[in-house]
Amino acid sequence: MKSTEHVRNGEERRRFERVDINSQAQVLVLDAKGRKTGVVRQLARGGFMMEPEKSYSEDEKIYSFTIHEPTEDIRVQVNARLRFSDQQYAGFEFVDLDPESAVQLGMIIGKYYEHTKV
């Protein structure tokens, strides 16, 4: 188990604040063919964590995903590299995020940031 000091130092190193997203919001992650690959549980400007439909092996592969926020019908195409994977979650870091995608992700983050502060 990690010490709280170690965890705190890791959080201080984060460049972007993470926003938790309830699984009931059904912000989906789709693969390049439009198939559901998971449900977003955390989102930040630097990446996301999802509850995946399948397991991911830790490699250097860059995946192409679409993050779909259904209530606003925002669809953001991203490339991402796996950074973490366990039985329940998979965490990805965005690779070469373009300005338009960053703005769209910011809209999703803003929507759920308000929900987490209530």
114 pLDDT band, cuts 50/70/90, is: low
Confidence of residue 58 (pLDDT cuts 50, 70, 90): confident
**Is pTM, for the whole model, over 0.85?**
no
| Contact between residue 48 and residue 17 where contact means Cβ atoms under 8 Å apart | no
Counting beta carbons within 10 angstroms of the beta carbon of residue 117, is it exposed (0 to 12), middle (13 to 18) or buried (19 or more)? exposed
Q: Which of 25-29, 33-37, 59-63, 99-103 has the lowest mean pLDDT?
A: 59-63
CA dihedral 104, 74, 113, 13 (to 10 degrees): -50
Q: Tell me: pLDDT of 17 over 70.
A: yes
Output the six-digit token pair for 35.
């198939």
Q: What is the pLDDT of residue 113?
A: 81
Looking at the predicted structure, is the pLDDT value of residue 63 above 50?
yes
7 or 25, which is more confident?
25
In angstroms, the CA 15 to CA 45 distance is: 9
Output 115 or 69, whichever has higher pLDDT. Answer: 69
Three-class SS state of 44? strand
- Tokens 């198939």 -> residue: 35
When pLDDT is averaged across residues 69-93 and rounded to a whole number, the result is: 95
Tokens at 6, concatenated? 């170690």
Domains of the chain: 17-116 (2.40.10.220)
Distance CA 80, CA 92 (A): 6
Q: CA-based angle 34:38:40, to the nearest 5? A: 110
